[in-house]
Amino acid sequence: QVKLVESGGGLVQTGGSLRLSCTLSEGTFSIYAMHWFRQAPGKEREFVAAISWGGSSTRYSDSVKGRFTISRDNAVNTVYLQMNTLKTEDTGVYYCAGGPSILSNFDTWGQGTQVIVSS
């Protein structure tokens, strides 16, 4: 049974930074690619970023490319999302998910972590 725990969200002003963390508390972390998604109020969940199991390959949505960086530390079963130059449109609940590759993810989610970017 896979259990994912996201943390690090909060309230930040536009142009600020946050670093999100997602820890896999159960399961074999290092064999999976890891993904970050977000869901803004009234909108569908959307892809943000993904990283391969070894960390050598990454993928980003166009809306965050150049501002967000995904990384992972397999020794502590954690994937990170460094978010810089935040915009109000980055507001939402951020979720992580595992997957067989950076192109697809499993439908298993944590509780998410709330990010609010104020102007």
81-103 pLDDT tens trace: 999 999 999 999 999 999 999 99
104 Cβ neighbours under 8 A, 6+ residues apart: none
Q: Is the CB of residue 83 less than 8 Å from the CB of residue 113?
A: no
13-71 pLDDT tens trace: 999 999 999 998 877 777 789 999 999 999 999 999 999 999 999 999 999 999 999 99
Closest CA to 45 of 98, 93, 104: 93
